[in-house]
Amino acid sequence: MTEQHIKTATAVSTTHQEEETTPPVMIQVAALDKYFDNYQALKSLDLQVKRGSVYGLLGSNGAGKTTLLKTLAGIYREDGGKVTVDGAPIFDNISLKQRMIFVPDALYFFPGASIDDMARYYRELYPHWNQQRYEALAPFFHMETHQKVHQLSKGMQRQVACWLALSTMPEVMILDEPLDGLDTVMRQKVKNLLVQDVADRQMTILISSHNLRELEDFCDHVGILHEGTILLEKEVDELKQDIHKIQVAFRNPPPAQVFENLNLLHHENRGSVNLIIARGSRQTLLEAFQPHHPVILDMLPLTLEEIFIYEMGDHGYAVDNIIFA
C-alpha cells in the first residue's frame, strides 16, 4: 500500500468522531497453539494487525499459514492462547464472521452454480452485501455473471472468489495465497482494488504468500512464519528506511574503527571497494564516511528480499526457500 493510501486512510479515520474510541488493533493473536493430534502446527504464536492496514504473512510449505488463517477466520478453534477480531473471540461468533471474509487457498463453489448463484448465497450470509458493487465489478473481471463457475479456469475462479469477497464489503479480509494463478495484469488489478478498500473504508487485510516480491509493494507489515511461529515481523517503510547498502572506496583507507563503529550486517571487499550492508539512518552512515574523503560513496536501495536475508542472517536461519519460493 502506498504512503498516500495510508495518509488517506488516516485522514478518514480522524474525521470520524466515533473512531477515536475504536481500538487500533483489529486482529490480535496471543500465545496461539494449534495441534493436529500430537503434531503442533502453531507454537505460542503472537501477531497483531492494525485496523486499516495490510499484513503480509510469508512462509514456506507447511509453515502453518493456512492453519493460522483458518484459526483467525474462526474455522479452527484454538487449543491454547487467544484470538480476537475487533476485541471479540472469533470462534462461533456469527455476527463477527458476517463482518469479515476468508478467501481460502482451496476454493469451494456449489456444484453447477453460476457466479450469480454464488452471489445470491453470499447475499444471504453477509448483511453488508453490496449488489451495486457486485454488478459494477463484472466488466472489471471480464466475466458474465451467468457463467458457470466450474466452467471457468482456475485463475478465473480465484478472481470470482475475490470479486464475491469484495462485494460483501468486509471490515476484515483474510486471504490465503489469493494471487497464485492470476496473471501479472490481473494480480496488480486485484491488489489495486484491495488497497482502495483499505484507503476508502479502513478495511484490514491479512494475506499469505510464499513470495515476498508479491507482497512488497502492497503490505504495511510483513511477518515470516516458520515452523509454527513468527520468526520476524517488520513494518515495510521502517525497514526500508533503516537499512542500507553502501559502496565506498578511499584513496587512503580510514582506521578500522570507522567500520567497526557501524551497525554492520555485511562487509566485503571487492578490490578497493567496500560493499557494506548496515543499519542506521542514511545521514548517520554518510557522516561516518565523509570525513575520510571517499572517492566513491554510493548508497543503493535494498529490496525487501535482501533486507530479509540479512535480517534473518542475524537470526542464524537459512531462509532462501521462504524468500524465493
Ligand X SMILES: Nc1ncnc2c1ncn2[C@@H]1O[C@H](COP(=O)(O)OP(=O)(O)OP(=O)(O)O)[C@@H](O)[C@H]1O
- Is residue 66 involved in binding ligand X (CB under 6 A)? yes
243 within 8 A of 309, measured Cβ to Cβ: no
- Is residue 4 involved in binding ligand X (CB under 6 A)? no
Ramachandran category for residue 92: left, alpha or beta (phi over 0 → left; psi -120 to 50 → alpha): left
- Is residue 159 involved in binding ligand X (CB under 6 A)? no
Residue with cell 528506511: 241
Q: How far does CA 136 lie from the centroid of its chain?
A: 27
Interatomic CA distance for residues 8 and 182, integer angstroms:
28
- Is residue 63 involved in binding ligand X (CB under 6 A)? yes
Report the SS3 class of residue 171: coil
Residue with cell 511461529: 229
Report the nearest approach of ligand X to the CB of residue 51 (Å). 25
- Is residue 36 involved in binding ligand X (CB under 6 A)? yes
48 within 8 A of 200, measured Cβ to Cβ: no
Binding mask 249-288 for ligand X (x = CB under 6 A): ----------------------------------------
* Binding residues with ligand X: total (CB under 6 A): 12
Report angle CA 204, 205, 207 to the nearest 5 degrees. 165
Q: Which stretch binds ligand X (CB under 6 A): 55-63, 121-129, 148-156, 157-165?
A: 55-63
- Is residue 56 involved in binding ligand X (CB under 6 A)? no
Nearer to ligand X, 16 or 77 (CB): 77
- Is residue 62 involved in binding ligand X (CB under 6 A)? yes
Q: How far does CA 306 lie from the centroid of its chain?
A: 17
Q: Which stretch binds ligand X (CB under 6 A): 36-44, 162-170, 190-198, 213-221?
A: 36-44
Binding mask 73-112 for ligand X (x = CB under 6 A): --------------------------------x-------
Interatomic CA distance for residues 141 and 272, integer angstroms:
54
Nearer to ligand X, 104 or 254 (CB): 104
Report the nearest approach of ligand X to the CB of residue 225 (Å). 7
* Neighbouring C-beta atoms of residue 168, cutoff 10 Å: 23
Report the SS3 class of residue 256: coil
Report the nearest approach of ligand X to the CB of residue 32 (Å). 12
Q: How far does CA 206 lie from the centroid of its chain?
A: 6
Point out which residues bind ligand X (CB under 6 A).
36, 39, 41, 59, 61-67, 105
